[in-house]
Amino acid sequence: MGWNNENASPRYRILDIETAPHPQAKDWLPPVKAKANLVDPEKIKADLAEKQAEQLADCALHPDKCVIVALGYFDVGHTEPKVYVFKNEDEERAGLTDFFGTLGNAKLVTFFGHRFDLPVVWRRAKYLGVKRQKLNIDRFKSPHIDLWWELTEKGALREAPGLQFYGKRLGVGTLDKVDGGDIPALVAAGDWQAVHDHCLSDIGLTHVVANFCEVLEL
C-alpha cells in the first residue's frame, strides 16, 4: 500500500484503540508473593491468584506487554469511521500497516493519547515490523492533539475526568455499556462485536469532545 501525499491526507484523524494483555505476557512477569501474615494454604493460593490476575490485567495498559485488539479512526471531513478488530498479530499487523500507510501528515486527535494510544500504536508497529512514521508524543512539542491534556488546560488542572464523563456532561447519549477495562474479558469470551462497538462509540465521543475543545480548525 502506497503512502498518501500531503494533498490527499486528512488534516485530522481521530484515533482510539482497545488493548488486552499479550498472550505471552504472563511468561514475562516477575513472581508474586503472598501476604506474609497468611498461613492457610488455600488463602495463600487465593492471594497469589488475585495478585497474578491484577499483574496480568495491568499488562493491557503497557506498550511492551499488550496487543491492540481494536483500532478505530475517523478522518474528519473525509469518510465514515473505520474500526478494525484484531484477533491475532497478523490482523494487527495488517491494520497498523493501513493506519500508517494512510496517515499522511494528519494530526492525530486522541483522549489521553500522549500517555497511551500513541506510545502503544508506535511500539506495537515496531514489534510487528510495520513501516511507520515517527510519532512525536512530547506533549509540549507534538503536533498531535491530546484532548485530556487540553481539558486540564495544559497542566493548569491536575486531572480531567474520563471520556465517558464528558460524553454525559455534553449530553451525548450512547448505548455502549462497556468500559475499557472490560475489553480483556470480552476478548477472552470472544465477544468481538462488543469490542468493535465500544471502539466505535469512543471515536464518536472523542469527536464530540474535540469539537467542545475547539481544536479542529477546518
Q: Give the pLDDT band (50/70/90) at residue 2.
A: very low
Taking the C-alpha atoms of residue 147 and residue 170, their distance in angstroms, rounded to an integer, is 14
Beta bridge partners of 18: 70
18-213: CATH class: alpha beta
Domain extents in the chain: 18-213
Residue 144 near residue 137 (C-beta atoms within 8 A): yes
Taking 50 as the threshold, does the pLDDT of residue 70 lie above it? Answer: yes
User: What is the model's pTM?
Assistant: 0.90
Q: What b/e readout covers 119-154, taking b as 16+ CB neighbours within 10 angstroms?
A: bbbbbbbebbebebeebebeeeebebbbbbbbbeee
Would you say 60 and 69 are in contact if contact means Cβ atoms under 8 Å apart?
no
What is each CA distance from 164 to 160, 175, 179, 200, 218, in whole angstroms? Answer: 11, 12, 9, 13, 25
Average pLDDT over residues 134-142: 90
The mean of the pLDDT values for the chain is 91
| Res 1: pLDDT | 37
Burial class (CB in 10 A: 0-12, 13-18, 19+), 35: exposed
